Structure 1
């Protein structure tokens, strides 16, 4: 269960005015007709795909019906996974002139049962569908549904599947799925962790149905995507890499240790970077990207890269309590954009501080549009705990990815020097002032004790 503690930072939108511009609710029926007309022309000799003006643009997947998914039961604090998350991002994009404007929407559709059955069990799909017949229900104590939730989940999955096909086929340069409910905790048999259908898994299989042979999923949500790992842990055609708080299994959902590497011949195709503490920031993430994520991704050579983009590791998030900035997310996006020839799909997962999620998502989409990430951490200096985590991951994954061998040896030497330099010498306890023996046994004994007490207060104990 996700302990959704709502802090004052989560209500910053009330003062910041992030929602005052409203949100973009496009008329998809009209725009989809125009889009289809521009994307494809037909001739008497057969169907001929025409190069579209859109194939150099970023596609956005959004539908306002996903805002109807909300918690019905009134509580003292709003559920962190709430409609305002999408509204805040959409308002930020509209204010920046990005969407509508520089990006184009794809027409929304609901995922089919047949497509979902490639990911989830029939019982799981049916359980989500049944929720449309009730006013309110809970799959787990923190995973709610109302009568609109099943449709919202189908729309989210359908948009993600179509975005994956658009990006892989080249009809879109790249894409961003502005969707909810999120998906990476949803496994084969269960909905959990705010998630109903696994959007990233549906996207990966949709891309493979469109012809992609290998798909990379990078999950930077602060929580481990246990559902995505479960779905693909025996699959060598989908590489899953996750960076998340783990704290030796004490952080939700408790999975994602470095030694969880895949099973049944697919060992090495699950890569977990489990942070051992909170407060992890840009330097640790970029360091892990350069030491682990990018070398493995390059060796895997995917046809499409999918980011499970939770922004709950962002600075100010009440659940993640980490310190990644919008510039850090932009830099990670920029680094992944060189993988798979720029065929990149970003799917929204978590993120519960409205200011953080909106600024981070906007920074990511600006990179998708071709803008510079704004900062270049060529040689990031990680924390001691961060370096230890990366070293532990390399020690395991080098057995499956030989490209990591040299990095592991080099980093091991650096870590020994690093820890030696950072180890502070223990201060010796000073003897302070040694009084004359006569003070102790003369009429000045009282003065001696007074002096002793003053020196202790000043930190100069005997």
Structure 2
């Protein structure tokens, strides 16, 4: 595929793992002066993987972006910050942000955090976000895991002066506790409800999905009971759904020939799991993610029932090598010889993971072919491990094979000339972009938290537009902070995603559907609701003649992913998500995040017209010179093309017809 190959190796389960306690804090302090010199020189940094790193923000706009972030964290609802919960001991000054905003899907990412000079402040969660990070800081930050950050974010803090030698992970082991089945957060033994998500310690969420009561399992609403072959047991083993094996194949007689919604699933994908006794915290990417979605669909009578099943098969090596290098495929396959292996601190594989990954990719490939051939109108790939972080040669971010990439290639082999991939996972799909960044026949659109490159995986800036013949085929909508919700996403869909997609005119649409931007997710920190996901799905259904495949990616709050996946599948089945609000406007942080996208992508997509509402916010919020120059260049375009007035209903852009 024309790129330098890099052998991917998995570490043995007995290999020594580095943690936050291994970081040389004094060395970090000594690095700051050198890093500041590098920042002033303006030299591009290089990551340890040898790729050019993104500059972290513009100093001219730093004050405005931080102000917008602070405003967004004060949104109504569950509160600001990751998961809607504030750290009561976080600093109040503008340059000290809640460490909750730093949580990432895998934790080992460049420039995730910079430690304060006082280790006591570090352990109290007062981690300072820096707009430009030095190479050595980024390398040290990559060694920390999501487990380290969860310990720093979610331990019970106090303000005692003897906190200087306190270790969050060790503290969790010193007192009795239980881990929430819904969000995996630790709780004191004397609590009956999770302090983070409110889930009951005896939750029956794996039996009824989002329909179960979070407060009292006995109060779960009654509905049509699932058939005996599809009852779910929350006491089932990691490789069992508590169902008959018929769950993945018995309903294929109607199959996709009916032209309806097809669901791809195989319970052998539940065999991919990390042994929890080897870690101090359950891994967020766990088999319960699939169990709870099946439970919710079964409780609502959608599957089995209104959805039909597709028999699962393993992807072939030749299909994988259309998106991955030979070394990548070999590295995943060799893990079947070990009980537990690690590609990164957070990306694990057991002896069954390679099988699960082959099944996930194979299901996606077959669903894509069935939809292109007209045997199904649309489909949902209920698969794991996820895939959008898996690059051509790198396994990372919980992802082994790139399922959406395999599906796109399968769709093209089946006759789809142009494929649109829309990725609404809260993390940028660096793997999918890496695979298709030089391919003009695949348009990749991603909406994700970016925060100047400090949010995992650090890629996905608005200026990343593709390379070579594929320049303009990558569209990144990077949010500048947490707290982004329905209005921001839907506004971006109406004014960026849909106009570009309509001009591209795809033959097939694939959604990389990570539900970690959902309200309550322990890693995402955003505020998207099931209704928001339903509306985004409905808007995309107008493209490619309705030929659409939804592929599950991330999402780690079980109640959120069950409700969100069910809402999406209802839209695929033809249910109406309801009307959009009459006066839909984004937050200031959302509008400012979109401004740079308009400025960059209008060079490649003439249909884009920056809304006056976004222009107005950009003008009054910008103290720097850069946005003023861009606005001046866009003024003529705005004056010659009618658009909505500030404060009036938005409606549909004229280029959508």
Return the TM-score normalized by structure 2.
0.59
Instruction: Select the residue among 263, 274, 281 that pairs with 1:71.
Output: 274
The 1:318–1:410 alpha-carbon spacing in structure 2 relative to 1, beyond 3 Å, is same
Distance 1:295 1:15, change over 3 A: farther
Query: Which residues of 2 match residues 21-420 of structure 1 at below 5 A?
Result: 21=208, 22=232, 26-27=245-246, 31=250, 34=253, 52=257, 54-55=258-259, 57-72=260-275, 74=277, 75-404=279-608, 407-408=609-610, 410-411=612-613, 413-415=615-617
- Distance (whole Å) between structure 2 residues aligned to residue 215 and residue 30 of structure 1: 28
Give, in whole Å, the separation in 1 of the partners of 2:615 and 2:340. 56
Counterpart-to-counterpart distance in 2, 1:350 and 1:416: 32
Alpha carbons of structure 1 residues 201 and 382: separation in structure 2 relative to 1, 3 Å: same
- Number of the residue aligned with 1:17: 204
Give 3-state SS (helix, strand or coil) of 2:394's partner. coil
Q: CA offsets, 1:305-338, max 9 Å, x none?
A: 0000000000000000110000000000000000
Q: 1:32 Cα shift?
A: 7.0
Counterpart Cα distance in 2 of 1:130 and 1:76 = 27
Count of residues in correspondence between the two structures: 402
- In structure 1, runs of 5+ residues without a counterpart are 40-51, 421-462
Measured after TM superposition, the shift of residue 26 of structure 1 is 4.8
Stretches of structure 2 that go unaligned for 5 or more consecutive residues are 1-105, 108-145, 151-183, 186-193, 209-231, 233-240, 623-657
Go from structure 1 to structure 2 and tell me whether the alpha carbon gap of 1:31 and 1:418 turns closer, same or farther (over 3 Å shift): farther
**In the TM superposition, what is the alpha-carbon distance from 1:177 to its structure 2 partner?**
0.3
Q: Tell me the distance in 2 between the aligned counterparts of 1:118 and 1:31.
A: 31
What is residue 439 of structure 1 aligned with on the other side?
none
Contact persistence 2:392–2:435 (CA under 8 A): yes
Go from structure 1 to structure 2 and tell me whether the alpha carbon gap of 1:413 and 1:77 turns closer, same or farther (over 3 Å shift).
closer
Name the CA shift for 1:307/1:234 in 2 (closer, same or farther; >3 Å): same
1:327-374 CA distance string (max 9 Å, x none): 000000000000111111000000000000000000000000000113
Name whichever of 223-232 and 369-378 sits farther off: 369-378
Kindly indicate whether the alpha-carbon contact (under 8 Å) linking 2:315 and 2:361 is maintained by their aligned counterparts in 1: yes
Structure 1 position 379, deviation (Å): 3.6
Secondary structure in structure 2 of the residue aligned to 1:181: coil
Give the 3 Å change call, closer, same or farther, for CA 10–206 of structure 1 in structure 2.
farther
The structure with the larger Rg is: 1
Q: Distance in 2 between matches of 1:409 and 1:68?
A: 48
1:19 aligned counterpart, secondary structure: helix
Per-residue CA shift, 1:149-180, capped at 9, x if unaligned? 00000000000000001111110110000000
What's the C-alpha RMSD, in Å, of the aligned pairs? 1.9
Provide the rounded CA distance (Å) in 2 between the counterparts of 1:341 and 1:379: 28
Are the structure 2 counterparts of residues 361 and 14 from structure 1 closer, same or farther at C-alpha, using a change threshold of 3 Å?
Answer: farther
Alpha-carbon distance change, 288 to 124 in structure 1, aligned in 2, over 3 angstroms: same
Q: Is the 8 A contact 2:347 2:396 kept in 1?
A: yes
Summarize deviations over 1:206-259 as a string: whole Å, max 9, x none. Answer: 000000000000000000000000000000000000000000000000000000
Q: Does the C-alpha gap of structure 1 residues 396 and 304 become closer, same or farther in structure 2, counting only changes over 3 Å?
A: same
Alignment TM-score, normalising by the size of structure 1: 0.83
Cα distance in 1 between the residues matched to 2:469 and 2:370: 31
Distance, in Å, in 2 between the alignment partners of 1:280 and 1:25 is 40
